[in-house]
Amino acid sequence: MFAACEAHIETEPETIFVGQDRAGHWLVQASGGWMEGRFISLAAAMRFARSERGTLPASCIRLKDTPMEASVSFAPVQPWERAVPKAAKPDAPRVGSPA
């Protein structure tokens, strides 16, 4: 149903998996491990998967019927933990800092 792929490509197409984890959250994961998201509904997960598929013309969306495992922890950040900063050019000024 959601497995439309282009047939004439030289490399394996990226697969975007949509399914639920054991807690019932909807997950979207790319087969290459470069993308993951958690959603409250199948509709929201499918909207995201379709939008990501638009950037990867040779990709497939596959609905999983077995529980998926999140590769990213969705636990709240603890006070002693630091969030990972977004990737930026090393010489780029940080938001809110003087240029």
Domain that holds residue 63: 1-94
The encoded tokens of residue 65 equal: 């019927």
List pLDDT tens digits, range 49-63. 999 887 777 789 999
List pLDDT tens digits, range 64-80. 999 999 887 777 878 87
pLDDT score, position 1: 46
- pTM metric for this prediction: 0.65
Q: Determine, yes or no, domain membership for 30.
A: yes
Q: Determine, yes or no, domain membership for 59.
A: yes
Please give the C-alpha separations between residue 33 and each of 8, 14, 15, 37, 81, in angstroms, as whole numbers.
23, 10, 10, 11, 23
Res. 8 pLDDT band, cuts 50 70 90: very low
Q: Determine, yes or no, domain membership for 71.
A: yes
**How many distinct structural domains can be found in the chain?**
1
The encoded tokens of residue 26 equal: 């909807």
Q: Determine, yes or no, domain membership for 99.
A: no
Alpha carbon distance 63, 19 (integer Å): 6
Alpha carbon distance 17, 28 (integer Å): 6
